Structure 1
């Protein structure tokens, strides 16, 4: 059930853009793997596991996008929120 959010309470309040929140850990993990290579998964299973994780992330992103669209709010994090989705 979406709840209305008054315009005076609608503030981003985020120190960095949300897409950067996802990019920074990826870059940090790549740098760590470069300096301290530790592969606990080898061969083709490594690529299969990676692909499954990527597809799971895409599915979660698309699901959140659809849920916010159904609630009538803009899913783009840079635009003001018109509602807060509390379930779904």
Structure 2
């Protein structure tokens, strides 16, 4: 997985279950949480993905998600052209 606000060098392979984080990205195995957090903390995942400060509660973050998905409640699936890949 490549974390938000991170840049992976061309040709880099991220093993399954590992996390690439930073700019340039460093690879972390799943058991290196503390080291990962040192790099990841300043990349502002909540601000980038949800548009909220890091100090926001999960209640506030999830309310934004509900609002986002709720806005698409009336969406309908369009037929894809016969020659397209879906």
Query: Structure 1 length as normaliser, TM-score?
Result: 0.30
- Higher normalized helix content (fraction of residues): 1
- Higher normalized strand content (fraction of residues): 2
Query: Structure 2 length as normaliser, TM-score?
Result: 0.31
Greater relative contact order (CA < 8 Å, ≥ 6 in sequence): 1
